[in-house]
Every structure is written in C-alpha cells, then in structure tokens.
Structure 1
C-alpha cells in the first residue's frame, strides 16, 4: 500500500481512530496533517507520531467553521504543495435520549460537527485535490441501522452516506474516489463513553450487550478500522468508489 509522498488530511486527528489512521498512512510513506479542535490533544498526537519527522504536522481548527476549514486545506498545500487524501473522521456522539426528550441544541451540535464538518471538508478540499485522489468518510454501523435513543447520531451518520454518494458521482470524472467506512463498536475511549451512558439508561452492561449483538463477538481494535481507512485511501482501493465499507464484525447483518 505504497503512499510515498502522498499528502493527507485527517480531521478528528487527535482521536483514537484519526491518529491510528494517520499512523497507518505515515507508515506507508504519506505526509499527514492532523486536524482537531483540541490543541493539547493534537500536541500529544504529534508526539506519538514524531518518529515520522516532518512528514506529520498538526493544525487546530473547528471543522464546523468554513474559514478554519479553508485554513487547514491551505496549510496542507502550503507545507507540501499538493493534496491527495482527505479522511473525514471528526465526530461527536451527542445524548442518549428518546426523540421526544432530545435536546434541540445537542441535536444541532451533532449535525454541525458530523455532517456540516464533513460537507465543509469536501467543499473546500475537493477543488484543491490532485486528480486520482481519495476521500474517506467515517460513518458508523448507525449509518445503515438504528437504535433507540441515538436519533442525532444515527441521523448524522446516515446523512454521511448520502453526502458520500453525491461526492463520489461529482468527483469521478477526475478519478477521485469517495467512500464511507462504517465501523461498529471500537474498543476506545469514544465508544466507552457511549457505553457508560447507555448502560446507565438501560440498567445493564452495555459493552457485553453490544458484544452479544456482534456476530464476531467482540469490539474492533482501532488498528483494524485504521487498516480499512488505509485501504481506501491508498492505491490498493483504486476501483472502489461510492461504497459503504462495513467494518462492524457483522453487526449490521
């Protein structure tokens, strides 16, 4: 999966999946700009990737802001002169409440980060991307299924599938591929927070409940999902576009 000198942007780059996806691409020779709104977490991520020297850089930005989105795209171009890969990974999970009780402001926040943030990334990166590039959008098993209590998260992740399909058709003439990765539960802090709150609502062990719902019987390791991102970002995925790649241990079946 040679990605030597390809320039990649990863939003949500300080988080577990964002960082591991970046590390997977860096290991294949890519240059990666990690984007996240949390400056301290970004610095921690940069230190974890420091072995890759000047092939990794960081940029603090709010993905819901158009000017800041243009800023991180321009930063990648300023540093390395091109843009080949965009990984839209920034996301939040919101509340766990039935629709009738769901807070309006939380719904708006989830849609802003998960959907608008991805829209802005595609809007500002696509015109500057090299022909033959790749966009990988991180959705979720909740982007093709649903459960009670997660209306904002599920709606946002479904929306990403629609956005991906439009972008795939619009970008195909330039050989730019656009795909969705739809992970199931991952053994990381993001998922642990969801399961803690879900367990409080249900009055049972949510981690065990989810493992029982996954045919493979366990949560994913973050490295496993990062390898799916790597495949789609790299030349190995050269004939894949407009697709939803399930990485959920069979949970959607």
Structure 2
C-alpha cells in the first residue's frame, strides 16, 4: 500500500499566510492536492501540519485524510516527513512525498508516477521535466514510455549525457527534478538517520539507495509558491 504524505507544516513566512489555504481555481491548495491524490487512487493520505493547524482545520475539512502535527516545523521538511511516516500504516510499502504548494500537478501525472513506482518498488522514484517549462505551465501530458535509471549521485541528466534515441531533444535543454517523489519502505530508516539540516537531499543521494528518474511533461512538479509574487503569477 502506498501512503501519500502531504507536507503542510511550514511557517510560510515569506508568503505571510498559510500556503495550504491559498486558492487555485476556487479551491484551497490543500483541498486541491488531497483531491488529486484521492482521484489517483491513493487511499492513505496523511497531511502534516504545523503551527497553523487550527487555522487550516477551521477552513478545510479532511475527506478521508488523517492529520499529523509536527511540533517543531522549524526543524525543516525532513522533520515533517518523519512525523508523516510515523503516522502511516504498518502495511505501507512506500511513501509519496507531496508538497502542499504544488496544486497545479495534473492528476494523470500522479497516476503515472504511481504506476511507474509499482514496477520499481526497490527504488526511489523522482519525476523530472525539461528546464524552462516552469515558465509556462504544461497542461498537456503524454505517457512516458522510457525512463532512465540514475545512480545516487546528484548530477542533472541532460540530453547530451542520455541516450539520444530515448531523449531526442535539443542539446540546450536539461532536466529538473521535482515532486512528488516516492520513497520505498526499504529506505524508511534513512529518513530517520539523516541530519535534519540536510533534508531529503541526504536521503535521495545516500550511497546505498537506487534512484529512478521518470520524465513527465508537467511543469507542475517543479512549480511551487513561496512568495506573494509567485502566487500572483498563478492568478
């Protein structure tokens, strides 16, 4: 069973208000993200909240999601992920790490990532898209027939370094990794072993892990909203 962990515990200091309650197409970010995951077939959805818990729950009513609270959200994203993992079912065999400020990800992208991970359950799956697409949201989406297995090293794969028969793209383009990523339960311990200040990067670049990049045509995986200026572009 796959568990989605929606990280929404940040203090949103630069935004000035909880990002979970910002709106996209008439719905809050948190409702949009949770609904997309539900429609993608993720039965267990855990939302990790922080100090804005009461404000968020006053405006948003969970529809099957369970809420876990991070008492120290200032410790960073990895601390919230730990809270979510601890709240997950013992039957979970993977953790889909989702960000609450990514409401523009297409539902079909979630489905594609999940389907791909189902065939690669010994690997961390990280979606990526072509750089430059974050400037204009990609709404069309074609199923990706090929993926590339990478090592734990943090290099960005470009068409120059990839098989040109798999990636027939202009050499000026490269890829950017995004979310949601899926971490198999076999790497659960790394989420608790790593230093908090290193975040998820420490987990996904640990020498013991196997990582698979999945190329998708959806800029929503790399588009998030940290400031009022970012949010204004969404409107």
* TM range, smaller chain: 0.3 to 0.5
The structure where helix makes up a greater share of residues is 1
The structure where strand makes up a greater share of residues is 2
TM-score if structure 2 supplies the norm length? Answer: 0.37
TM-score if structure 1 supplies the norm length? Answer: 0.35
